[in-house]
Amino acid sequence: MGKSRARLFRRAPRAPAGPAHQRPGERGPEEEAAAELLEKLQHPSAEVREFACASISRLLQQQHVIPAFVQRDVVRCLGPLLMDPSLAVRETAAGALRNLSACGGFDVCDDMVTNDIMTPLVALLKECSTGLDANQLSPKKCRGMNKNYIEDIANEAINLLWNICECNNTALYIFNKEGCLEAVLHYMKKFATNVDLAISVANCLQAVTEDNPDLLSLFNASAQQILEAVLLCPESSMKHILLRTLIAGTIWNIKDTIPPGSLGSTVNAILKIFSESLAIDAGETIIHMNEAENNRLKLAVEAGTEENMSDATENCVLGEDDNMEEIPKGELRRENDISDLLPSDKWELKEVTALLTAQQTALEIIVNMCCNEDPSDDEWEELSSSDESDLFMENSYNEGSGLLLSPLCLSDEVNSAFLNNLIPKKILEKTAFPNSVALDICMHNPSWKPLIKKLNAVQCRALTCLQSILLVSDVDCLGGASALQSLAQHLSQLIFSKTELPTDTEFLEAVTSALRALLQTMASKNIPQCMTPEQLLALCEAGIQSSNACVRVNVVSILGISGSVLAKEQDTAETLKMIGKFLLEVAMKESSLVVAGEALDALFDVFADGKEAEEAALQIKLLPTLKEFQPVFRMRIRKEGKGHYSTDQLCVLDNVKMNLRRFIAYQETLGKTPT
């Protein structure tokens, strides 16, 4: 099967839950609340409108409530308030629409565009951009400082724009047509004084520049200078690391606009940013930041300032004397849209969250870089001749961080320095299980507990990144045979280090994908494999029970690769029998035709040649079993194929069907050959 170039790690659509069960015609509590609050949006008092927006914003964080608001045209009710005379109303309205877009999923975002949310949103973005330098402050205090309404409104609006453009192509078309890029880039100029706004802008830019060729012509020299200024920012906070990582991803998306003479240095700058992010030990950072938080809270108690530890006004929409309901922060609804949704007194937690998001983002971008087309001859020549290539190579190697994509992007001279490295060191480190002390801290601290999911996500992304690099690199660039064997041992330890085999679907898919790519590389170069047959069968027996078809495909393929290697060795007939029986059972009983086809492919590889394979095939009655199964498989493809599988999958299945016929014919010739 060929590699897909489809972008990875996109958000899955979130279908909002339906309302609670009720009798026909009866209005439930959600409908009552929606009707009452939407009516208040038309109230002549700005404070009442603000209160209604804040209340709607809170409710929209609960997915089961969303349909009640959507059915009452919440978008058309809130949309005009983006241009309300009251700045506080604008901000809370934008926040409510942001929550709707983040929690409602693709269908709700489509509905928002259909109901013309882009018209007031674009107007708001342009007006805020124009007034960005006016320094329009509110007399109300937020965290001891005057509140800048323009920047805070812009932050909510940018997040709303990001969510919608990521989900809807029409919104992206409007973004291009209305010249929103100029306004968005203007916000980025505030990165030195408002890093939260800059991170929101960077997230939005990365989304709108992905697979959007119509936007590339608008990235002129001035626009690129703004992005370059962010990359060169010397600030070392985790938020700034996240900001630089996101901008590096944006620059990769628009690499076709970069002059040929600057491409090499640009790629190296991107890689340096990723190395900087991945070099930080997230587990140690969690331990350090948690200790810092505990010390801060202890000092606050001793100083008698417990009131400063209470929940902060997240959006500072209302003053202390307003006696109105504020917007509490609910469960986060998207993986990357997080930092500015954490409580304001949790700055240590926000820093750790920013670091983990940066590392996850860096790894995801590297995977996409590996999936890109091979460089053209001109690109190879230019990348090889860059004066900065050797400088960055030297710095990265000395720091132990490794040049992440050396096989893809740099010259043979640079690659040669990595022959003794297994693969990029920092990526490999991220494939390990998270720090147990850090996990214990997160497990026993409710505010920090969501970090566990992000720690695991970083590990899975690193394994996927490892798989991608294995697929595009040659053995010498990976460090040679001994390095690959060490890597195989490392992956085996990840799988077999605990008493029970892992069951987490995301991890199991990532680790089996990496192991599959590694074993295929080793087999193609005749490098001995170090997993025992017992380990392989244990992994396959566990993996084939997974609900994830990709996991099942991986374990079947792993067994086929290992079996084909064993078939060339002596005294392996018994092991081949076990492998053959397992693969036959999968082929005949598997519900997914794709997995069944992979099992047949694996059988073809294992029993293609060799005396040990011939002996095992006779003992498990491989030929008569396949002859009996052949019409069944053909019938399944005819009945189940169309409408259930993609065109590419059907082409693969057709090839498997043809190869099954040929393999049966081949096995029949073996039976006629004199012994």
Beta-carbon count within 10 A of 81 CB: 25
Q: What is the per-residue pLDDT for 12?
A: 40
Distances (CA, A) of 635 to 360, 527, 631: 44, 40, 6
Q: What is the per-residue pLDDT for 553?
A: 96
CA angle 166, 169, 173 (to 5 degrees): 110
Residue with tokens 């060795």: 569
- The structure tokens listed for 173 are 């078309």
**Run of H or E including 154:** helix 149-167
622 vs 608: CA distance, rounded Å: 12
User: What is the distance of C-alpha 23 from the center of its chain?
Assistant: 41
Q: What is the per-residue pLDDT for 140?
A: 53
- Of 163, 165, 166, which Cα lies nearest the Cα of 177? 165
Burial tier of 321 (Cβ tally within 10 Å: 0-12, 13-18, 19+): exposed
| 98 phi, psi to nearest 5 deg | -60, -45
**Run of H or E including 141:** strand 137-142
Q: What is the per-residue pLDDT for 112?
A: 96
Global pTM reads 0.82
Residue with tokens 């109901």: 115
In tens, the pLDDT along 114-173 reads 999 999 999 999 999 988 876 555 445 454 456 788 999 999 999 999 999 999 999 999
CA angle 544, 580, 537 (to 5 degrees): 45
- The structure tokens listed for 295 are 């010390």
Q: What is the per-residue pLDDT for 21?
A: 35
Residue with tokens 């890597």: 487
User: Which residues are CB-neighbours of 578 under 8 A, at least 6 positions away?
Assistant: 533, 537
Contact predicate 602/557, CB 8 Å: yes
Please compute, for residue 24, the number of CA atoms within 13 A of its CA located in the half-sphere on the CB side: 0
Q: What is the per-residue pLDDT for 183?
A: 93
| 388 phi, psi to nearest 5 deg | -80, -15
Q: What is the CA radius of gyration of the chain?
A: 28
In tens, the pLDDT along 91-110 reads 999 999 999 999 998 999 99
Give one word for 526, left, alpha or beta, with left for phi > 0 and alpha for psi -120 to 50: left
209 vs 88: CA distance, rounded Å: 31
Please compute, for residue 492, the number of CA atoms within 13 A of its CA located in the half-sphere on the CB side: 18
- The structure tokens listed for 83 are 């241009």
Q: What is the per-residue pLDDT for 507?
A: 94
**Ranges in the chain, pLDDT < 50:** 1-7, 11-27, 138-139, 141, 143-144, 306-307, 309-339, 374-423, 674-675
Amino acid identity of 179?
G
Q: What is the per-residue pLDDT for 476?
A: 73
- The structure tokens listed for 651 are 């082409």
Report H helices in 505-642.
Answer: 505-524, 533-543, 549-566, 573-589, 593-606, 611-619, 622-640
Q: What is the per-residue pLDDT for 175?
A: 96
| 148 phi, psi to nearest 5 deg | -95, 100
Contact predicate 546/508, CB 8 Å: yes
Burial tier of 303 (Cβ tally within 10 Å: 0-12, 13-18, 19+): exposed
